[in-house]
Structure 1
Amino acid sequence: MKISHPSQCDFLCKVLLFALLNIGASGNLWAQMDHLSHSGLSVSKKPKNVCIGNGLDCANAATPFLGNDGKLFLTWTAGGVVSFAQSNDLGKTFNSAVKIAEHGKSLDAGSDARPQIVADSSGNIFLAYAFFKDSNWNAQINTSRSNDGGNTFSVPVSLIEDGSSQRFPSILIRPDGSIFAAWIDKRLVASAKQSGAKKLGASIAYSFSGDHGRTFQIERIANENSCECCRIGTALDVTSNPIMIYRAIFPGGIRDHATQIISSKGAEPIRRVSDDQWKTDACPHHGPAIAVSQSGKIHAAWFTQGETRSGVFYANSSNQGRSYGKPTRIGADGANISRPYILALENTVYLVWKEFNGKSSTVHLKKSMDDGGTWSPPQAVFETSGYSDHPLLISQGNVVYLSWLTRDDGYQFIKIGSP
């Protein structure tokens, strides 16, 4: 069966392609696929995989941010709507939701797409999300701001002026309050097409804002050759420089992961995380995760189906990514593993992932107290049936929380430890 490049696929082609990739990786399609709804504010029972509405109880993805005052900010997408709410009791209850934007079926709500949120200590909140402009999966990233702690938000506007496709924003806020944004950008693909050439994939672009997201600097391209449909993992290094991990396209069409630091001088050299040798022109829809510990060590987790290795893996680097240690498998060999996420607090590293047993999904956790040298045995944190979002980790002070949105059991915000 021959499938054309994903940028020319219609919806059915993308679904079939995604299914073929993930069946090979997991042995069970549903271990990797995302369903379409879950429960949140309400725990009322609904027919499985059916949810109508734009509330948290029907969301497909939710992204948290913890303010310095202990407030939990949450943004989610559901029913074609981007919404925001805040909680004063760490997710037990939320105030009334604020509708940020409504795009209907054109909202980018795919398996690796989620709204982004950051906030500063002065009550400024910044949101970003993407929506499709046409039927060819060309998207636009919109941003919205609040300067009153989330009571009201500005009318969404485009992040940049370029008219090509931009998707999968990843947002960080630095200690000085400046905002870093990175995304998948297709301007070089569009330019090549106009000249009659063919260019696979997309590029990694980035920009900074020094005024709470009102304006951004002229965007730059960090890597001209990247996967077009996988989220970008981002973190700050010990000097508050952003560092990205993403699925790059290396010579020969190899889609392996790379890290890249963005310093005051611009994008530093591209560093290959591992030589997985995954040759494909397809869209995995399964992006990586990254964290940087107090020592400066970079910790990375990713999914691959390469000739060298296949599954979900972890590795770290002690020299700013110039070299990485031998990848180690996450979870048991042969288990249905997906969606790793990683967080470093001082020199303690937390790693979570989803595991599907054919009936239910469980978030598993393991922890390293010595900066990735040794790890605790995996432990199950929470189990649910039906739909669930990717597990996310977030910290405040020295406390780490798991953020996990599920259909049957509601939105979970669980304390999982501290150094």
Structure 2
Amino acid sequence: MSKNLFPKLPSKALLLGALGCVVSALSWAQMDHSSHAGMMMPAKPTACTSTSLDCANGATPFLTTDGRLLLAWTAGGSVSVAQSDDMGKSFGPAVIIGEHGKSLDTGADSRPQIVADDRGNVFLAYAFFKDSNWNAQINVAQSSDWGHTFSTPRSLVNDGSSQRFPSVIKRPDGSIFIAWIDKRLVAQAKKSGHSVLGGSIAYAFSNDGGDTFSPERIANESSCECCRIGAANDPQGGVAIIYRAIFPGGVRDHASQIISQTAMGKVQRVSHDEWKTDACPHHGPTIAVSGSGKMHVAWFTQGKARSGVFYANSNNQGATYSKPIRIGKEGSNVSRPYLLALGSSIWLVWKEFDGINTTIYLQQSSNDGKTWSTPKQLSQTNGYSDHPLLINKGDLVFLSWLTRADGYQLIPLNSNP
């Protein structure tokens, strides 16, 4: 059972039903998040096929400025959304947006993406597989009534190749940024008789809440095909992204870029881990940008130069990065780092698995990453769990975590200043 060092929220309401039968082997294979060499496996998801939150594989939160919590999740082959007016203590009726069965993309780095404005306009994105070759389509849907009803899901782009792993953020000006892994260049090369590794990083902006998007652009033609993209707003007006790129020689190290609606920044290498692999790690990075514009990043690697989960930062928009610092103890099974920046306050959480229990740890920096607090245990479970996420309402920071034992939890990490 989960153990929280912070006050635990009361149990969550049942939204759509009870537990069902066994999750298919295909679904587990898609979302296995610790199948990297040298890493122990956590528990598989408990038997469950209902579309309810109790059976969710992964849940993505969004907090509006007035305290509404919108939660999107995948369960039972469907994508659902529900709203909470009491910070996750209870939820209203769930709305099923898309039903795709075993074709729904519930891989380790795949999760529905949700953002909203303060007028009740909600934007949702998710992916599903179009065929048995793992070619995917990103669907988007919108709501104008706080998620009580949604438009019929439609494809984000008209290209017929594969698009997967959407990453969505709302900009301070109200626009929406979306990035994804796109395989149109791979498909074009294949038609020409050439073989190309991985995929590409593509992106687009919307200035009308997701009704329309700017023509998609390719930020990097060569990226890993199976790792989430980290994205964060940059106070200088752009969006900072980080992703697992493919460098010459098949090296899968990380890169960052600054992107705006009018310019696409240079691809900047985060570190020289020298991880040469043709495998699919399914273990993407995270990024946060502080009020000073300092970029904070964390990632997983199994390179020749270093192996494990690491943190670094950049004072010059990614032109150079600090020396990577290991997250967690060397030799421990660390995964899924996630960063949040508020002014000069930086928050970092991650998972550790000891063969029995999965534990969430927190480190916090109050001086823009110059020094960090001692790691602190936040929560623990001995069953299946989703990745830890961080969200905020003003200066209040919360850990968003889903476990099969305790359901969805929104755990406060600080109090009003």
Report Cα offsets for 1:150-180 as digits up to 9, x if no partner.
1110000000111100000000111111110
Note if contact 1:399-1:415 (Cα within 8 Å) is conserved in structure 2. Answer: yes
> Deviation at 1:72?
0.4
Structure 1 counterpart of 2:268, from 260, 271, 289: 271
**Alignment partner, residue 39 of structure 1:** none
**Alignment partner, residue 202 of structure 2:** 205
Structure 2 counterpart of 1:66, from 63, 84, 103: 63
Which letter does structure 2 place at the counterpart of 1:223?
N
Please tell me whether residue 121 in structure 1 is matched to residue 118 in structure 2: yes
Distance across 2 between alignment mates of 1:271 and 1:400: 30
**Alignment partner, residue 172 of structure 1:** 169
**Alignment partner, residue 35 of structure 1:** 44
Which letter does structure 2 place at the counterpart of 1:355?
E
How has the CA–CA distance of structure 1 residues 21 and 360 changed in structure 2, closer, same or farther, with 3 Å as cutoff?
Answer: closer
Distance across 1 between alignment mates of 2:248 and 2:390: 34
Distance across 1 between alignment mates of 2:239 and 2:92: 32
Distance across 1 between alignment mates of 2:273 and 2:314: 17
**Alignment partner, residue 23 of structure 1:** 37
> Deviation at 1:19?
8.8
Structure 1 counterpart of 2:102, from 101, 105, 117: 105
Distance across 2 between alignment mates of 1:75 and 1:410: 14
> Deviation at 1:15?
5.0
Which letter does structure 1 place at the counterpart of 2:409?
Q
Over 3 Å off, 4+ runs: 18-21
Note if contact 1:23-1:29 (Cα within 8 Å) is conserved in structure 2. Answer: no
Query: Helix, strand or coil: the match of 1:57?
Result: helix
Which letter does structure 2 place at the counterpart of 1:359?
I
Note if contact 1:139-1:165 (Cα within 8 Å) is conserved in structure 2. Answer: yes
Report Cα offsets for 1:76-115 as digits up to 9, x if no partner.
0001000000101111110110010100000000111000
Report Cα offsets for 1:350-387 as digits up to 9, x if no partner.
00000111111110001011100110000000111210
Distance across 1 between alignment mates of 2:65 and 2:373: 30
Query: Helix, strand or coil: the match of 1:167?
Result: strand
Unaligned runs of 5+ in 1: 1-10, 37-48
CA RMSD of aligned residues (A): 1.7
Note if contact 2:120-2:144 (Cα within 8 Å) is conserved in structure 1. Answer: yes
Note if contact 2:338-2:349 (Cα within 8 Å) is conserved in structure 1. Answer: yes
Note if contact 1:22-1:29 (Cα within 8 Å) is conserved in structure 2. Answer: no
Please tell me whether residue 233 in structure 1 is matched to residue 245 in structure 2: no
Unaligned runs of 5+ in 2: 1-24
Query: Helix, strand or coil: the match of 1:249?
Result: coil
> Deviation at 1:267?
1.5
Structure 1 counterpart of 2:90, from 66, 90, 93: 93
Report Cα offsets for 1:201-225 as digits up to 9, x if no partner.
0000000111110111110000000
Please tell me whether residue 417 in structure 1 is matched to residue 410 in structure 2: no
Distance across 2 between alignment mates of 1:417 and 1:173: 24
Which letter does structure 1 place at the counterpart of 2:402?
L
Please tell me whether residue 280 in structure 1 is matched to residue 277 in structure 2: yes
Structure 1 counterpart of 2:290, from 286, 290, 293: 293
> Deviation at 1:52?
2.3
**Alignment partner, residue 3 of structure 2:** none
Which letter does structure 1 place at the counterpart of 2:371?
T
Distance across 2 between alignment mates of 1:273 and 1:97: 40
Written as runs of structure 1 = structure 2, the 5 A alignment for 1:17-416 is 22-24=36-38, 26=39, 28-30=40-42, 35-36=44-45, 49-416=46-413
How has the CA–CA distance of structure 1 residues 411 and 277 changed in structure 2, closer, same or farther, with 3 Å as cutoff?
Answer: same
Normalising by structure 2, what TM-score?
Answer: 0.91
How has the CA–CA distance of structure 1 residues 202 and 348 changed in structure 2, closer, same or farther, with 3 Å as cutoff?
Answer: same
> Deviation at 1:20?
9.3
> Deviation at 1:192?
0.2
Which letter does structure 2 place at the counterpart of 1:338?
S
Query: Helix, strand or coil: the match of 2:196?
Result: coil
Note if contact 2:33-2:282 (Cα within 8 Å) is conserved in structure 1. Answer: no
Normalising by structure 1, what TM-score?
Answer: 0.91
Distance across 2 between alignment mates of 1:228 and 1:88: 37
